[in-house]
Structure 1
Amino acid sequence: MGLINTTIKPFKATGFKQGKFVDVTDADVKGKWSIFFFYPADFTFVCPTELEDLADNYDTLQGMNVEVYSVSTDTHFSHKAWHDTSPAIGKIKYTMLGDPSGVITNNFDVMREGIGLADRGTFLVDPDGVIQFCEVTAEGIGRNASELLRKVKAAQYVASHPGEVCPAKWEEGEKTLAPSLDLVGKI
């Protein structure tokens, strides 16, 4: 996972968003924070629970100037069909990108070799298109949008406060650290 602090690679994909098919490119991502939320496949089991959890937090993320893109190697047509039939997926307002060619999935290095499905990968991309955070979990381990929100807040704080860092379990409004020689061995 050598993707931290690298710029996202070029891509063009069609997605499903709020009843419409939309085209999205890497250029569209720049200018605001973005979450790329990879999952194995539509019409599965853990995936809808994760995507629904993210959908329940989408308005909060929007208020933080964060756009969300869920990505699987399914097509945008499959995303629409799933959205139209699943109560959990029907809640989604963010863009569900189709990546049947695997370009985006391979760009983020979460393609399962020989299988054609994405791992559960979460990536936070800053407004310059630089990856600031990534997390990949095994098939059966669902993610938590509340923890993702905390990490987004920490990344945004660090970006707007040069010279400060957020310690473990940091929550918005809590004390941060200013790394210096004076702190070495005192924490």
Structure 2
Amino acid sequence: MLGVGQKFPEYKVTATVSNDIKTAFQEIGSDSHPGKWKVLFFWPKDFTFVCPTEIVAFGKLNKDFADRDAVLMGASIDSEFVHLAWRQNHADLKDLPIPMLADVKRELSSALGIIDPGAGVSQRAVYIVDPENVIRFVMVTDLSVGRNSTEVLRVLDALQTDELCPCNWNKGQETIHV
């Protein structure tokens, strides 16, 4: 599995960005957001139970991530058409403000090393990638356990200080000065 300090792999996938079939799909790749922080989170499969709770929670924080010059994106191994159907049929996903990347060939998930060996799907992973495409944070949980989106935002805040941040540090608090 790729980790902190390593380059995030190059990729190009189709993403579902809206519910309208005429404008639903957009190509997104590693060069789509130059100079931005990127937060990518992966879920195992669409039309499941834990996944939408996470996607909705991240979506609600999209403006907060954007305020920090970060682009928030979600991904799974499902196709862009499955993403579209899910968005159109799940009440909580209808107004989702973030793209859903379709890693159908499992190329990005494989390059990251997050294909679950038992289930054959992307593990529940999240990456914070700096503007130079260097991985600065990785978290992977069991397929049955959802992540804490506010914790990911807190870590982004800490990384962007470029300071030493103590345990449970939150934006606006003192950093460690040595």
TM-score by length of 1: 0.88
Match of 1:117 in 2: 121
> For residues 151 and 74 of structure 1, do their structure 2 counterparts lie closer, same or farther at Cα, with a shift above 3 Å needed?
same
What's the CA shift string for 1:39-94, capped at 9, x where partnerless? 00000000000000011111111111111111100001110000000012223111
- The partner residue of 2:57 within 45, 53, 60 is 53
Q: Cα distance, 1:116 vs. partner? A: 2.6
Match of 1:182 in 2: none
2: CA distance between counterparts of 1:9 and 1:37?
Answer: 14
Please list, as runs of the form range in 1=range in 2, the aligned pairs for 1:133-172 lying within 5 A after superposition: 133-158=137-162, 164-172=163-171
Considering only CA atoms, is the larger Rg found in Structure 1 or Structure 2? 1
Q: Cα distance, 1:2 vs. partner? A: 4.6
Asked whether 1:21 is paired with 2:25, we answer yes
2: CA distance between counterparts of 1:26 and 1:36?
Answer: 11
Asked whether 1:12 is paired with 2:21, we answer no
Gap runs ≥5 in structure 1: 159-163, 180-187
Asked whether 1:3 is paired with 2:18, we answer no
Aligned length: 174
2: CA distance between counterparts of 1:40 and 1:14?
Answer: 17
Q: Cα distance, 1:114 vs. partner? A: 5.5
Please list, as runs of the form range in 1=range in 2, the aligned pairs for 1:33-112 lying within 5 A after superposition: 33-112=37-116
Q: Cα distance, 1:29 vs. partner? A: 3.6
Structure 2 SS opposite 1:140: coil
Contact 1:120-1:137 at 8 Å conserved across structures: yes
- Letter in structure 2 aligned against 1:73: I
Root mean square deviation, CA, Å:
1.3
Query: Structure 1: which 4+ aligned runs deviate by more than 4 Å?
Result: none
Identity of aligned residues (%): 30
Gap runs ≥5 in structure 2: none
1: CA distance between counterparts of 2:78 and 2:109?
Answer: 11
TM-score by length of 2: 0.93
